[in-house]
Amino acid sequence: MFDFITDEHEMIRDTARDFAQNVIAPIAAEIDESGDFPIETVKQMGQMGFMGIEAPEAYGGVEMDTIAYVLALVEISKACASHGVIMSVNNSLYGHGILTSGTEAQKQKYLTPVMSGEKIGAYSLTEPSSGSNPAEMKTTAILNDAGTHYVINGRKSWVTSGPVADYVVLFAMTNPELGHKGINAFIIDTDQPGFTRGKKEPKLGIRASATSELIFEDYLCPIENRIGDEGRGFKVAMSVLDTGRIGIAAQALGIAEAALDASVDYAKLRESGGKKIGQHQMIQQKLADMKTKVEASRLLIYQAALAKMQAKTTGARYSLEASMAKLFASETAMWVTTQAVQIHGGMGYSQEMPLERYFRDAKITEIYEGTSEVQRIVISRQLTGLR
């Protein structure tokens, strides 16, 4: 159907689908209930190349493109959204910043083991008092008198994979007077003094994806672990969020697809009034709207993926495409899962079926990597040029 989807793309999609349905899906309900981080299956994902799809082979990746990434991520998320976000953070939020702005030494030391799945990466921007506005962050990184280390102090919140991460891409304020221009990005080694993990967050959904606070108390970060030039951290963060939004859009699409498929199957099986519920016009309308929104989401995601691929040669931003895909796909996931629960009636509300899990997992896609409200601001500013 799409001439940009090659045989190689279809191969990675099919491989991801087989692994997701045969290995991940059977444990999805169990890890959702327990909240246990699925380290063994995550390592298997790394061995299969899913944790570093776009990274060059020299840095532990498989050197494919963004289309391959979203195709695989949709299949993983369709089986388990927790696995999906772990994969997304590893590839985009952690990997992209180091890959595009890091030094060769940083890539060799901190990218290779994470892209191959041997280690876990995380991304830390949000703070308790600064969510959608990074310029308000309180975490500081002050260069010591010797000029060899930054002394980092502060508290970060809602860090995906925070409880298990080996390395973290951290954003901290070096010069508060400069606002967002005073932000720097750093690679944090979590086994060093001055770093502690806060409480693991009890969450509504994606419960097997570990999330926590990170606390820094006089943490010494070598100057060679700064990503990019002094004061470039905000640009790194925004670039990373653009690619991260494509990943969350793909995660949302996977959740929506799973809910749609379950609803179609149920509509063909469940009977009411002497006929299949799929023969009732009200159910037909729901299914038609669900399918249309799912396919529209897919097209927006493909558009964003292609824009990102073109940006590698043109250097252009793809913020508009990424925000539109993330906004529409995430709201589609929430809407579709709501309709799916309704179609299933009482069984949709029961933990005996996965619909309630899809519903709970969908909500976060409207919040992280920028809320739906933030996406609308980004889209509007791109259209008008006004701030």
Q: Does residue 324 lie within any of the structural domains?
A: yes
Ranges of residues in the chain with a pLDDT under 70 are 131-132
Residue 357 within a domain: yes
Residues 207 and 271 in one domain: no
b/e map 304-326, b = 16+ CB within 10 Å? bbbbbeebeeeeeebbbbbbbbb
Which are the contacts of 275, defined by CB distance < 8 A and separation ≥ 6? Answer: none
Residue 128 and residue 105 share a domain: no
User: pLDDT value at position 129?
Assistant: 84
The total of structural domains in the chain comes to 3
- What is each CA distance from 219 to 82, 107, 352, 373, in whole angstroms? 30, 22, 46, 34
Q: Is residue 1 part of a domain?
A: no
- The CATH number linked to 240 is 1.20.140.10
For residue 32, being part of any structural domain is answered with yes
Q: Which amino acid is at 330?
A: S
pLDDT computed for residue 133 by the predictor? 78
Residue 187 lies in a domain: yes
The CB density around residue 191, as the number of other CB atoms within 10 Å, is 8
Q: What pLDDT shows up at residue 130?
A: 78
Residue that finishes a domain, picked among 231, 266, 288 = 231
Q: Tokens for 266?
A: 């149920």
Element (H, E) at 80: none
Among residues 231, 255, 273, the one where a domain terminates is 231
- Is 197 a member of any domain? yes
In contact, 167 and 187? CB cutoff 8 Å = yes
Tokens 């940006």: give the residue: 311
Q: Is the domain of 193 the same as that of 102?
A: no
Same domain for 37 and 108: yes
Same-domain check for residues 55 and 111: yes
In a domain, 2, yes or no: no
Residue where a domain stops, chosen among 72, 93, 119: 119
Residue found under tokens 């999609």: 13
Measured CA to CA, the distance from residue 360 to residue 357 in angstroms comes to: 5
- 27, 78: one domain: yes
Helix (H) or strand (E) holding 36: none
* Active site residues per annotation: 369
Report how far residue 123's alpha carbon sits from residue 375's, in angstroms, rounded to the nearest whole number: 19
- Residue where the block lists tokens 């159907």: 1
Q: Is residue 340 one of the residues assigned to a domain?
A: yes
Same domain for 87 and 167? no
**Are residues 239 and 368 located together in one domain of the fold?**
yes
Distance of CA 309 to the CA centre of its chain: 18
**Which residue is associated with the tokens 């309704």?**
342
CATH number at residue 23: 1.10.540.10
Crossing angle for the helix pair 81-88 and 25-34, nearest 10 degrees? 90
C-beta separation of 93 from 244 below 8 A: yes
**Looking at residue 194, which CATH number applies to its domain?**
2.40.110.10
Residue 59: per-residue pLDDT: 96
| Beta strand ranges found along 45-178 (DSSP E) | 121-124, 140-143, 149-160, 167-173
| Contact call for residues 101 and 236 (beta carbons, < 8 A) | yes
242/325 same-domain check: yes
Examine the domain organization and report whether 200 and 239 are in the same domain. Answer: no
Same domain, 54 and 79: yes
Q: Which residues of 355-368 are buried (b: 16+ CB within 10 A; e: fewer)?
A: bbbbbbbbbbbbeb
Alpha-helix runs per DSSP H in the chain: 7-19, 25-34, 39-47, 66-79, 81-88, 95-101, 104-106, 112-115, 233-269, 281-314, 319-344, 346-349, 355-363, 372-384
Residue 139 shares a structural domain with residue 227: yes
Question: What is the extent of the structural domain holding 101?
Answer: 7-119
Q: Which two tokens stand for residue 386?
A: 């006004």
